[in-house]
Amino acid sequence: MYRRLSAKQFGSLCKDKGDDVPELTIERQSHDGRGIARQKGKTTFVEGALAGETVQARITKKHRRFDEAVCEEILTPSPQRIEPDCEYYAKCGGCSLQHLGLEQQREVKRDALVDQLQRFGKIEHIPLHEPLLDESWGYRRKARLGVKWNRHGELIIGFREKASPHLTPIQHCKVLMPQLSALIPSLYELIPELESKKTIGHLELAQGDEGSAIVVRHLKKLSHRDLTLWQGWAQTHNTRLYLQQGDAHSLTSPDHEDAQELHYKLEGLKLAFLPNDFVQVNPAINAQMVQRALEWLAPTSEDVVLDLFAGFGNFSLPVARHGAKVVGIEGEQALVNRAKENAASNGIENAEFHRADLSQSFKDLPWAKQGYNLLILDPPRTGAQNICQQIAQFKVKRLVYVSCNPSTLARDSAILVQQGYKLQKTCIMDMFPHTTHVESMALFERA
């Protein structure tokens, strides 16, 4: 028996409530997991609806070319609809696809990748390879929790509600690694005891192979009493404590002169990172991703590899371990320094790292004048348009593009094809199960 869904179950999506409550037939899923229906020749995106369902939906926002709506009632449910496992799912914005079976979630992501590459990448045949999959619960090694006090004086720790600035209070999180999820209840006990309880902005949790960490983002300097309470909590829960008052560069560890790093093992390496560094949050998929990149690139000691958006060496150092010379380029100096330290601590001498703004022209920079025959791209959601437009100067024979946004991957793929490359392989990576995030990899070879 399928339960009736109400607008309330999808958080605060109905702020702009209208009077229209049409009956809609959902034709397919959008890339962000919403149902797509057509009404009077106009497309409507319906939050909480699945392909094949007939629903009663409330229009929440009207645009010239499309409308947005929230599912009020499911009249004919999809056989693929399941009961979400998380008690907070109705409101919490952390996940958005728990009402769809896991296999079907992955189909939606695969279809999104194929659709974008065909429509915007102008690539007719998509050479799909096996997806990278792993456990769908307890996979996140990093998360940021908001901290607020409501008008009743009650503490709220959690993630933002769906389409709302408000927080959903949580006591645990099923997609967090169990070690991190287990810390949340104790934070509800600690924070009300603090003198600075109203000046904590957010908490960042991170998990390394050898322990947990918490970053406390506070707006005012902590009193000696509050610092002692935090240190006691950290010791009790075997968690490293970091404080951050100001920007990301203000991270300190009160028990050490320098902030102590976390670590994870990868391809026989031990990589260090700080809890506020960008790090792939799903370690199992990250390991598979690096392994597949190595398979697709097939680096040898004769190769020179350029790694753009190198971070602290997640791809660069495993590739260097396989014998190739690697040059890693990263926009954030702190990560460049960390990459150099990771290379040194792992005894890798055939990798070098430099800082550069990759959104700008780089053809005249010294590292760009070297010769390369393999390339790795791991850009942010905005993609690598500027780089792809300059890629011809390198004349690499193969490149692996790691994407967290199929739209920008498709755009950049079209540019690469124009530059003389052919898409040889691609696959989705289920880096974020139960969410609509579509992560993927693509191998291009010079035609």
The CATH code of the domain that includes 73 is: 2.40.50.140
Of 262, 291, 307, the domain-final residue: 262
Asked if residue 268 belongs to a domain, the reply is: no
Same domain, 241 and 385: no
Looking at the fold, whether 250 and 180 belong to one and the same domain comes out as yes
Same-domain status, 429 and 396: yes
Domain count, the chain: 3
In this structure, how many other beta carbons lie within 10 angstroms of the beta carbon of residue 41? Answer: 5
Neighbouring-strand partners of residue 216 = 203, 243
For residues 409 and 116, the answer to whether their CB atoms sit within 8 Å is yes
CA distance 393 to 37: 45
Catalytic residue among 92, 95, 404, 427: 404
Residue 127: the pLDDT is 98
Can you give the pLDDT at residue 20? 67
Domain-embedded: residue 95: no
Hey, what are 379's tokens?
């850009």
Q: Which of 233, 262, 291 is the last residue of a domain?
A: 262
Are residues 130 and 71 located together in one domain of the fold?
Answer: no
Per the domain annotation, does 181 fall within a domain? yes
Does the annotation count 404 as an active-site position? yes
Q: Which of 262, 291, 324 is the last residue of a domain?
A: 262
Q: Is residue 218 domain-shared with residue 340, that is, in the same domain?
A: no
| Domain-embedded: residue 241 | yes
* Distance, CA of 269 to CA of 142 (rounded, Å): 20
Q: Which CATH number do you get for residue 387?
A: 3.40.50.150
Angle, CA 13 vertex, CA 11 and CA 18 arms, to 5° = 135
Parent domain of 433 = 107-135+282-446
| 119, 168: one domain | no
89 part of a folded domain: no
pLDDT at 257: 60
168: its two tokens: 């959903």
**310 and 359: one domain?**
yes
CATH code for the domain of 217: 2.40.50.1070
Within the chain, which residues score under 70 in pLDDT? Answer: 1-20, 248, 257-259
Q: Which residues of 265-282 are buried (b: 16+ CB within 10 A; e: fewer)?
A: ebbebebbbbbbbebbbb
Q: Is 19 within a domain?
A: yes
On whether residue 271 sits in a domain, the answer given is no
